[in-house]
């Protein structure tokens, strides 16, 4: 029997601000600007929104949405505290809310001043989930995700022979894709040599292995399929969605296998719900806080075996025109860092046929992942409705 949520829910509206380095707007203003665009994209009015899931911590909260958008009857206010896995996991929470008719239209949104405001090591201190790392790992010199995730990357290299050439391929391909969309922070091509020559951040991660600190806002609207069908844009439905939480969720150090995290649990559930597998995907938008993170997730998603993610990304396979185009918008590495809500937006755009120069021909089915908060994972599978 089909899963109760499968195809019952659609992504009905998409909104983004410009992605920039530097902004005179607050994170909240960027979040609201993107939200208004998403509402307009759907053909709705602000007062139609009756559920909000803002990214937290940072940016606006429900009170801000009621006050700014004049929401007459907000019925649901949620946080999904999963760091980089938040936005895709929020699709699951929103889906439950609209499929059950608790809400009509749920707004998921992010506003971030990652360049002009607090940087990553400071932002992390706002997370209750960071308390363990703050007590045990910050004093010995580990503060930032780059450092905390570098140890897993180093182990993958030692166990499986993964190389910085593989990392570079992810960075270079992603940059090439970013140059196609007209709204990316990075606007010059990147070569493998430039990647290798970039300064070391936390070995084995160089500068160009790390995602951007940027300013911007992004928003999507989730509506029940029957309601979305009556709206403005081509229908893109949620086939499968799941979130997963790893062992030792607040400490990577104590996790039995550093290379197995929440996505390993979420992926089989999302695939089963959708009734499809990795081989069916026309494209994939993979949360790319680091180049290596993409390689690791491709394995957990079943596109290749454990340890084979490095070779998998080579030879044009993940580029537009290849077997599995990934991060067709430039991702967090080259487009902008809005915690991966830009990945959800890009996948939906691709399935609508609105992806411009980056359009994957006849894209019908794709997936998008979230990854963060020391290893939480999330996966959504979307399909263009017939």
Partner 1 sequence: MSATANPAAVERPLPTTPTRDSRPYWDGLRQGKLVLQHCASCGRVRHYPRPVCPHCFSMESSFREAPLGGAIHTWTVCHHPFNFFFKAQVPYIVALVDMDAGVRVNAPLRGVAETDIRIGQGVRLRFEPVSEEVTLPYFTVP
Instruction: Provide the minimum distance between the beta carbon of 157 and partner 1 in the complex, in angstroms, as a whole number.
Output: 9
For residue 168, the surrounding DSSP H or E stretch is: helix 164-178
Residues 6+ apart with CB under 8 A from 158: none
184 contributes a contact to partner 1 by CB under 8 A:
no
Taking the C-alpha atoms of residue 316 and residue 6, their distance in angstroms, rounded to an integer, is 33
- 203, 150 contact by CB (below 8 A): yes
Binding status of residue 258 toward partner 1 by CB under 8 A: yes
List, as one string, the DSSP characters of 22-48: --SS-HHHHHHHHHHHHHHHHT--GGG
State yes or no: residue 121 binds partner 1 (CB under 8 A): yes
| Binding residue (CB under 8 A) for partner 1 from 138, 180, 192, 365 | 138
Instruction: Closer to partner 1 by CB, 130 or 303: give it.
Output: 130
Query: DSSP 3-state assignment of 80?
Result: coil
The answer to whether residue 201 forms part of the interface with partner 1 (CB under 8 A) is yes
> How many CB atoms are closer than 10 A to CB 157?
17
How many whole angstroms separate alpha carbon 299 and alpha carbon 292?
Answer: 11
- Measured distance CA(133)–CA(374) in Å, rounded: 10
Q: Site for partner 1 (CB under 8 A): which residue of 144, 164, 170, 235?
A: 144
Report d(CA 272, CA 3) in Å as an integer: 9
**Who's near 383: CB < 8 A, 6+ residues apart?**
7, 236, 237, 239, 274, 351, 364, 365
Task: Output 213 or 288, the one with its CB closest to partner 1.
Answer: 213
Asked if omega into 86 is within 30° of 0 (cis), the reply is no
Walk across the sheet containing 376-384 and list its strands.
Answer: 76-77, 51-54, 105-113, 215-224, 9-16, 236-244, 376-384, 365-372, 283-285
What minimum distance in Å lies between the beta carbon of 132 and partner 1?
A: 6
Residue 128 per-residue DSSP state: G
Choice from 199, 279, 362, 386 touching partner 1 (CB under 8 A): 199
Piece of the chain touching partner 1 by CB under 8 A; list 212-220, 249-257, 321-329, 364-372 = 249-257
Which residue, 214 or 327, is less far from partner 1 as judged by CB? 214
146 binds partner 1, rule: CB under 8 A: yes
Minimal distance, residue 201 CB to partner 1, in Å: 4
Region from 102-110, 136-144, 181-189, 336-344 binding partner 1, contact rule CB under 8 A: 136-144
Smaller CB separation from partner 1, 115 or 143? 143
Give min distance, CB of 135 to partner 1, in A: 5
Q: Residues 3, 75, 154, 269: which binds partner 1 (CB under 8 A)?
A: 154
* Interface with partner 1, residue 126, by CB under 8 A: no
Q: What is the dihedral of CA 270, 272, 274, 276, to 10 degrees?
A: 110
Asked if 74 interacts with partner 1 (CB under 8 A), we say no
36 is a site residue for partner 1 (CB under 8 A): no
Q: Does 4 bind partner 1 (CB under 8 A)?
A: no
Total interface residues for partner 1 by CB under 8 A: 34
Cα distance between residue 104 and residue 228, in whole Å: 10
In angstroms, what is the minimal distance from the CB of 304 to partner 1? 22
Asked if residue 385 binds partner 1 (CB under 8 A), the reply is no
Binding piece for partner 1, criterion CB under 8 A, among 53-61, 145-153, 278-286, 360-368: 145-153
Tell whether residue 22 is a contact of partner 1 (CB under 8 A).
Answer: no
Chain residues that interact with partner 1, rule: CB under 8 A? 120-121, 131-132, 134-144, 146-147, 150-152, 154-155, 158-159, 199-204, 251, 253-254, 258
């Amino acid at each position: 029997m089909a899963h109760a949520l499968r195809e019952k829910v659609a992504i009905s509206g998409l909104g983004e601000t410009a992605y920039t380095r530097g902004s005179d707007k607050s994170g909240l203003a960027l979040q609201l600007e993107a939200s208004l665009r998403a509402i307009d994209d759907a053909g709705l009015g602000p007062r139609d929104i009756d559920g909000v899931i803002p990214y937290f911590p940072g940016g606006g909260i429900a009170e801000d949405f009621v006050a700014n958008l004049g929401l007459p009857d907000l019925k649901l206010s949620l946080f999904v505290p999963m760091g980089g896995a938040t936005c895709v996991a929020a699709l699951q929470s929103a889906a439950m809310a609209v499929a059950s008719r608790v809400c009509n239209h749920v707004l998921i949104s992010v506003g971030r001043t990652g360049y002009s405001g607090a940087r990553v090591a400071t932002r992390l201190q706002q997370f209750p989930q960071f308390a363990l790392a703050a007590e045990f790992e910050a004093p010995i010199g580990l503060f930032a995700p780059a450092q905390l995730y570098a140890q897993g990357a180093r182990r993958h290299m030692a166990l499986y022979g993964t190389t910085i050439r593989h990392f570079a391929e992810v960075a270079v391909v992603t940059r090439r894709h970013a140059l196609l969309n007209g709204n990316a922070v990075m606007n010059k091509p990147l070569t493998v040599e430039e990647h290798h020559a970039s300064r070391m951040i936390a070995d084995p991660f160089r500068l160009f292995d790390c995602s951007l600190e940027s300013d911007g806002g992004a928003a999507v609207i989730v509506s029940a399929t029957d309601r979305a069908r009556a709206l403005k844009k081509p229908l893109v439905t949620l086939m499968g969605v799941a979130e997963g939480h790893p062992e030792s969720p607040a400490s990577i150090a104590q996790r039995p296998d550093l290379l197995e995290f929440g996505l390993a649990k979420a992926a089989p559930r999302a695939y089963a719900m959708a009734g499809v597998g990795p081989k069916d995907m026309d494209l994939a938008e993979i949360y790319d806080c680091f180049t290596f993170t993409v390689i690791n997730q491709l394995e957990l998603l079943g596109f290749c075996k454990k340890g084979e993610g490095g070779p998998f990304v080579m030879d044009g396979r993940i580029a537009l025109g290849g077997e599995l185009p990934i991060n067709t918008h430039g991702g967090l590495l080259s487009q902008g860092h809005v915690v991966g809500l830009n990945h959800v937006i890009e996948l939906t755009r691709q399935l609508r046929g609105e992806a411009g120069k980056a359009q994957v021909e006849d894209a019908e089915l794709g997936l998008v992942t979230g990854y963060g908060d020391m290893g939480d994972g999330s996966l959504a599978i979307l399909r263009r409705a017939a």
